[in-house]
A and B are shown apart, each in its own frame.
Chain A
Amino acid sequence: MTRGWFCWDNAALFAFIAFFSFSCSKTPAVEQGSLTMALEAGPAMIDPLKSTDAVAAKIEGLVFNGLVKRNDDFTISPDLAERWEFIADPLRAVFHLRSGVKFHDGSAFTSNDVKRAMDFILNPENASPLRSSFADVKSVEVSDDHTVIFNLNRKTAPFLSSLTLGIPKLGASNPVGTGPFRIVEIKRDDKVILERNAVYFDGAPKMSRLIIKIIPDETVRTLSLESGEVQIIMNPITPDLLPRFRENQRLKAVTSPSANYSYLGFNMEDPLAGNIAVRKAVAHAIDRQSVMSHILKGLAEPATGPISPNSGFYEGAVERYGYDPEKAKKILDEAGFPDPDGSGPTKRFTLRYSTSQNELRRRIAEVFQWQLEKVGIGLDIRSYEWGAFYADIKKGNFQIFSLTWVGVADPDILRYMFHSESMPPDGANRGRYKNAELDLLLSAGVTADGEGRRRVYSEAQKIIARDLPYVSLWRPLNVAVTDRRVREFHLSPDEGIKSLKNVYVEN
């Protein structure tokens, strides 16, 4: 029997050695010229003319160029088009394209590629989700290899922004663009491998190879970053991990302003949520500041409305709702919602609060539940799997929901959010908010110009803050955590990763 035991010990020792050598082989060295970034989800497809998901948009930002590009301060500047002009009678926009631009397959980029891309989108048969963005484009013509003409119904402010659309080479079996990186391989739900475009017209990227690894689990992403397997991770990053990252000498956190806006949406057709007193009371009863400092660990800025202070259209002089539970109680008392037992357990009324199953969102919901209870409002938290939750919101099946708008750039998005003709499924006025005065302003904003346009949106923002179809929460900051040696990386306001073009690793 002793012999038997001896064998057992050997087996255990062997297992230990096997484990140990395995763990050693798992720590890779940073390959020179190669950079690995982890993302939460993979792209559904890489095709700027069809895809709508956020991950695809990030990767498309590296592979394709639009006629124009949006800068971090929301202004528009030339990209594939060097310059453009609008000509009246008949109304058209003429774009002069940069010459000498080549696709990744070596073929030259010409005005025909722009026309083919636009024809694809405008053709109803292709059911491109982007067609509505180009509703005012009648047709697209080519006058020579470097000039393309858009025939327009009317001149609208958002038209130029919509031309940030990436232009692919149609007919290629793999996604082929003109951008700083070309796609080498897409392994679904695993990784996307990109390689430097050495002849990129705006200067070749510094890194020769980029690997985008799909790691859905945050703990895995974190550990991969800490082990050096991955050099960049980006939001969503649970704020509670930041202190841990900051303690790590090998890592650094990079924050940047976002074009995102978190809010509570109300169902304006609901007898309770549709009552302005209820919305005002909620706005005063929640303590955003303590959530921002302690739950979000400072990764958010206060918000007064959807438009960011970085935008030229931001209006700061709107009604604000500070944390004031006493005022909330008073508003409810006066509006005929008395608290049956003062601070006792019986509530004035209970609201359904819909949210996704994201841990942070559920946690914030629980904070609000606790804070609203203090003023006598009960909160019944319903958290569902994302698809079901989002479907509920679009169908109007909610009293209150919490969501974040991503990439709020042009103020015309207010029309998409709040115009009474912008109800789902085509629009995003999910709360069925109706205000005729606001409708007029938002319609006027589409074609207005210069200072006039600024005034229109200033007025619109004031009305929205007064009617409270949304209760503003905060503006989340973009955050990425990288290896300390990674230079020049930051997220653009729309969570884009275009800065990877200029990134290098210091040795």
Chain B
Amino acid sequence: MRAFVIRRIMTSIPSVLGVVTLVFFMIHLAPGDPVEIMLGENAAPADRAALTKQLKLDRPIFEQYLSFLRGVATLDLGESIHTKKSVAGSIAERYGATLKLALASMLFAVTLAIPLGALAAVKKDTRYDRGAMMASLVGVSMPSFWLGPMLILAFAVELKWLPVAGADDWSSIILPAVTLGSAMSAILARLTRSTMIETLGEEYIITARAKGLSGFAVIFKHALGNALLPVVTIAGLQLGALLGGAIITETIFAWPGLGRLTIQAINARDYPLTQGCVLTIALSYVAVNLLTDILYALIDPRVRLK
């Protein structure tokens, strides 16, 4: 097991380095002078010089790169151009909200997807199955920036059950979580259905049924349990993907998380802060994928041998 964990960590190192490098070069790939983009064409020379110095743009590129790497390793991502606050600090302030939203979305997605997928599998080729799969297709095709406003319209504006935006109490997370989790739910429902169909066709299930166990018990005790393993894995992988989707959802619901910070940073042309946000989201994604793989290997020893 230990060997597997070490091997798996090693394989993600190139990705991490690549991500850091790409984010570092972001500022250099900008068409034109980054200082000019941030401060504008008519900025005073003194301001330019100060910012160039702050961002170390006057140093040789290799030195800049090394100091960026050092910064990432020591969690020192510089300071925001406008607020002058530390980038790492600003991100830390917002990180919890995004994590909370991603977990709530996953919870919603899983609780909806597994019963729906199981139902579709058990009632394969009936109208229940087709209905569930149709619903999941709609779910995948519904862009969050439409679903979100529609949910607001229905549940906040018309029914007044839930808050429109913000993060005041527990109820304010419901609409963002549903918005962010619905596409994932649709994917998981399809996955549950197909793994479930596979499991239901397996020898021991057929035997169990032959032994006279009721259909209900077989489905819930035996088939579902076994079918869930791949579903849980994919859910883990998708948790990371939710971090990316959170950018739009947080914008819709004014959710005070990392995604909203990213957009605010971009709209302020605040490169250090933008870089920090993008880096944090991408590295979190890599980390979540890593953890999911390791957890999966813990549960299912066959994976380790691969």
Contact = CB atoms under 8 A, between A and B. Distances in A.
B156 A385 contact: no
Given A267-B42, A397-B39, A384 B161 contact: no
Contact of B160 (A190, A223, A388): A223
B88 interface: no
Interface string B244-273: 000000000010000000001001111000
A220 B165 contact: yes
Nearest to B156: A223
Contacts of A8: 115
A398 interface: yes
B157 A395 contact: no
Given A22-B171, A388-B82, A220 B166 contact: yes
A388 B165 contact: no
Contact of B166 (A3, A216, A357, A397): A216
B215 A395 contact: no
A227 B216 CA distance: 47
A22 B42 CA distance: 55
Nearest to A383: B267
A103 to B, nearest CB: 33
Interface residues of B, number: 31
Interface in B32-53: 39-44, 47
A396 B161 contact: no
A392 B40 contact: yes
A395 B44 contact: yes
A90 interface: no
A88 interface: no
A417 to B, nearest CB: 19
B165 A217 contact: yes
B215 A22 contact: no
A397 B47 CA distance: 12
Contacts of B216: 1, 3-4
B165 A219 contact: yes
Given A220-B163, A220-B164, A223-B156, A388 B42 contact: no
B268 A385 contact: yes
Given A3-B216, A217-B166, A220-B165, A357 B39 contact: no
A384 to B, nearest CB: 6
Contacts of B47: 395
A215 interface: yes
B207 interface: no
B270 A388 contact: yes
Q: Chain A, interface size: which category?
A: 20 to 34
B83 interface: yes
Interface in A447-499: none
Nearest to A217: B165
A223 B166 contact: no
A39 to B, nearest CB: 14
**Chain B interface mostly helix, strand, loop or mixed?**
loop
A387 B270 CA distance: 10
| Most chain A Cβ neighbours within 10 Å, of B42, B122, B215 | B42
| Most chain A Cβ neighbours within 10 Å, of B40, B171, B254 | B40
Nearest to B215: A1
A23 B165 contact: no
A392 B254 CA distance: 25
B66 interface: no
Contact of A397 (B40, B82, B165): B40
B83 A387 contact: yes
A267 B41 CA distance: 13
Contact of B82 (A22, A215, A223, A391): A391
A243 to B, nearest CB: 16
B35 to A, nearest CB: 12
B159 interface: yes
A6 interface: no
B42 A396 contact: yes
A281 to B, nearest CB: 22
Contacts of A267: 42
Contact of A395 (B42, B122, B156, B166): B42
Contacts of B156: 219, 223
Contacts of A387: 82-83, 268
A223 B164 contact: yes
Contacts of A216: 166, 254
Contacts of B269: 384, 388
Nearest to B265: A385
B121 to A, nearest CB: 13
A361 to B, nearest CB: 14
Given A219-B165, A267-B42, A391-B82, A23 B264 contact: no
B111 to A, nearest CB: 11
Contacts of A19: 161
A227 B164 contact: no
When A and B form their complex, which 7 residue pairs have the shortest distance between CB atoms, in order from nearest?
Answer: A397-B40, A385-B267, A388-B268, A385-B268, A217-B165, A387-B82, A220-B164
Interface of A: 1, 3-4, 8, 19, 22-23, 26, 190, 215-217, 219-220, 223, 227, 267, 269-270, 357, 383-385, 387-388, 391-392, 395-398
10 contacts: A4-B216, A8-B115, A23-B160, A217-B164, A383-B267, A384-B267, A395-B42, A395-B43, A396-B42, A397-B40
